[in-house]
Structure 1
Amino acid sequence: MVMWVFGYGSLIWKPGFNYDDHLVGFIKGYRRVFYQVLITEERQNSQWGMAYKITKKEDQEVALTYLEVREKQYDKKAYVDLFTEPATSAPAVSGVLVYIGSPDKKVNENYLGPASVEEIASQIARAEGPSGPNKDYLFQLEKALDFLGCEDKHVSDIAKEVRRILSEEEVTIS
């Protein structure tokens, strides 16, 4: 049995598990928002990212164990259809696993809620997590999406604002 995993954040450039193939594609009904480190939220949108095909049972077990730790801040898992062509209604792959953070503060303690681009950028410019500075994550995501040819206005607007904040801080320090 084949397993597919969809990544819309750092899994795009750093999956961290063995896989046999990958597809650039999107899932429908979700979008990337920075209301918790990074989540998808149900909307009438499409979410671009990378799907990884894992065929060997032992690789699947290792990947799932790894992802349960790496994606622990997300409170839901879903199995979704992956599309590779915007004009088609037929999915390229069905049953693709994706980790999701729901916008319900009662079940998702990491959910911060909507904020302006400026507020999100201000936090990202200064915050650091176990994997390093949040700004590095944001810039890597922006670069990976650009490389895939997948524009995400939310990501690019936040990245632009973080750069503005950082350049102002440099001028102040100089």
Structure 2
Amino acid sequence: MAMWVFGYGSLIWKSGFPHDERVVGFIKDYRRVFYQGSTDHRGTPEFPGRTVTLEPAKGEKCWGAAYKITSKEDQHIALEHLEVREKQYDKKVYVDFFTDPDSSTPAVSNVLVYIGSADKKLNVNYLGPAPLQEIAAQIAAATGPSGPNREYLFKLENALKQIGCEDNHVSDLANEVRQIISRG
């Protein structure tokens, strides 16, 4: 039986694991937000970066990419990879994945997605909401072992454009970070 994984952040442009198929689509009733602290990839414990997580949002659609993994060996490899890569995300949920905005029937059910919850007891890296300028300043300044936090933001913005998705939270943040960088 195939396993499916939904990516809404860096998984959109870089899966890092073998897969049989990549499908663009969305999940319902969630929105992508830069509320998750990154102390292991795009920041440090002393100066966390910000990466995306999902928060419940009735009626919203979060676009991304779903990966189909068929062989048991590839599923094992993918899960091992994701458990390390997504270790700062405290929740794994299974969702319905849609490809047609007009359909009420999911293209695939039981798609695995990693979420950093807002529960500070379970997710010590949750930073939560802040003013746009504050989030942008943090992203502009943070750097971690995987590179500058701004690179993550700009790659996400570009990946979303490539799949035809407009995400105002991402584009507003990217524009604000560009302004900060241009001011030096």
Fold equivalence (TM over 0.5): yes
Deviation at 1:91, TM superposition (A): 0.2
TM-score (norm. length: structure 2) = 0.90
Correspondent of 1:43 among 57, 72, 76: 57
State the Cα deviation string for residues 22-78 of structure 1 (Å, max 9, x = none).
Answer: 110101121110111221111112111000000011000000000000001100000
Alignment partner, residue 119 of structure 1: 134
SS of equivalent residue, structure 1 residue 104: coil
What letter matches 1:145 in structure 2? L
Alignment partner, residue 4 of structure 2: 4
Deviation at 1:154, TM superposition (A): 0.1
TM-score (norm. length: structure 1) = 0.95
* Correspondence list, 1:3-42, <5 A: 3-36=3-36, 37-42=51-56
1:75 & 1:99 partners in 2: Cα distance?
Answer: 8
Q: 5+ residue gaps in structure 2?
A: 37-50
| Matched residue count | 169
SS of equivalent residue, structure 1 residue 155: helix
SS of equivalent residue, structure 2 residue 78: helix
* Correspondence list, 1:17-166, <5 A: 17-36=17-36, 37-44=51-58, 45-166=60-181
What letter matches 1:140 in structure 2? K
2:57 & 2:116 partners in 1: Cα distance?
Answer: 13
Percent identical residues: 68
- Tell me: higher relative CO, structure 1 or 2? Use CA pairs within 8 A at least 6 residues apart: 2
- Poorly superposed stretches of 4+, deviation over 2 Å: none
RMSD (Å) for aligned C-alpha atoms: 0.7
What letter matches 1:40 in structure 2? L
